[in-house]
């Protein structure tokens, strides 16, 4: 992972407020950077999905009960931090195996689903 560095993070929401988290990476040296396609993993992170759904509604200027959102976040912050940590651990595990530029994607959902694999550089 010492030679591979993330350079762009993308978040794309679906209609169900689940989202696709993508990290694009390239070699740390100033060589040519080539984008590779990847198949996303699938992870079940219900707290993160709810929190990001509220972010999406706020971005769209839709009403959310902000005090209720903060209270919920305060009670579930440990779970949210644990889910974020699991996502970053999965990303780092992928990056440790890569030798060249590519991308890693993970489909984040609030309900359990069939896992799929990822690929990259």
pLDDT tens across 25-47, in order? Answer: 988 765 554 555 567 788 889 88
Tell me which residue range forms the domain holding 58: 4-27+34-109
- Mean pLDDT in residue range 15-25: 89
Residue 70 lies in a domain: yes
Residue 71 lies in a domain: yes
Taking the C-alpha atoms of residue 36 and residue 121, their distance in angstroms, rounded to an integer, is 6
Helix axes 66-96, 46-59, angle to 10 degrees: 120
Residue 75 lies in a domain: yes
**Prediction pTM value:** 0.69
Give me the number of domains the chain comprises: 1
Taking the C-alpha atoms of residue 4 and residue 100, their distance in angstroms, rounded to an integer, is 7
């Amino acid at each position: 992972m010492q030679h591979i560095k993330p350079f762009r993070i993308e978040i794309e929401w679906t209609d169900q407020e689940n989202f696709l988290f993508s990290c694009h990476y390239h070699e740390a040296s100033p060589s040519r950077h080539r984008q590779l396609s990847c198949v996303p993993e699938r992870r079940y992170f219900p707290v993160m999905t709810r929190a990001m759904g509220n972010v999406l509604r706020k971005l769209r200027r839709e009403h959310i009960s902000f005090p209720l959102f903060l209270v919920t976040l305060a009670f579930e912050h440990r779970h949210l931090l644990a889910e974020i940590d699991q996502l970053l651990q999965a990303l780092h595990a992928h990056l440790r195996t890569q030798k060249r530029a590519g991308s890693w994607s993970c489909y984040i959902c609030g309900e359990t689903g069939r896992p799929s694999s990822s690929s990259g550089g």
